[in-house]
Amino acid sequence: MHIPESLQDLADSEAVQFLKRPKTITRIFAGVFSLIVFSSLLTDGYQNKTDNSQLHCVLNSNTAACSFAVGAGLLSFLSSLAFLALDAHEVRLASTRFKTAFQLLDLILAVIWAGVWAVGFCFLANQWHRSPPRYFLLGSNSAKAAITFSFFSILVWIFQAYLAFQELRNDAPVPYKRSLDEGGVVLTSLSPPSATSPVNAPTTGPHGPSYACSSLSPYLSTPKPPRLAMMPDN
């Protein structure tokens, strides 16, 4: 393991350069926001009412709202960690097809997660708006935190989709480039030679085209009509 000898070596190291990438920063923010959403509702999202000890969801006593937020936050957090690990080994991807498929999958999942968090934000905000005031002893701060970071997650995943789209558009597949190069070589080799090219120089010799044309010229001339000759009488 290489240990940097100075701060400049540390700043130029691969780990620091990887962490400074916009895609890496976006994934870290997406993972942190997802962690806040599901952890806040998982710890304080289920509280008892003032009149009994049974636990209910703080979002209008709707268990589906808390379950949706916890499940979406957990899956989004794991997705961010998985793609962060794949980004760290992206430079080692030798197969161009696999790299293109990875970028396409990144774009599709980013768009899906942006839509999921948009639906989740509207759902959680609606259920919190319908919740009676001071209906639970605790848990209001956890509900507000989950709703707030659900909205932030929408922006983060939209930006992640934009970065994935830019990367997919800028990185053209290598087989496509190679086919263009090979086509250019073929067209260059099949292009007509110039007037000064030695290919067009006339060949003067017994086997040359000019000699053949000159030798065939008497036979290709216009035939003369036959003339009548007077035969002597015997």
**What confidence score (pLDDT) does residue 227 get?**
60
Tens of pLDDT, residue by residue, the chain (234 residues): 455 556 665 555 677 787 888 999 999 999 999 999 999 988 888 877 666 777 888 888 888 999 999 999 999 999 999 999 888 877 666 566 777 888 899 999 999 999 999 999 999 999 988 887 766 657 788 889 999 999 999 999 999 999 999 988 887 554 444 544 455 544 444 555 555 544 454 445 555 554 444 444 444 455 555 565 555 554
**What confidence score (pLDDT) does residue 29 get?**
96
Question: Across the chain, which distance is largest between two alpha carbons, in Å?
Answer: 157
**What confidence score (pLDDT) does residue 185 get?**
47
**What confidence score (pLDDT) does residue 102 get?**
84
**What confidence score (pLDDT) does residue 54 get?**
79
**What confidence score (pLDDT) does residue 26 get?**
94
- Residue 234: CB atoms within 10 Å: 3
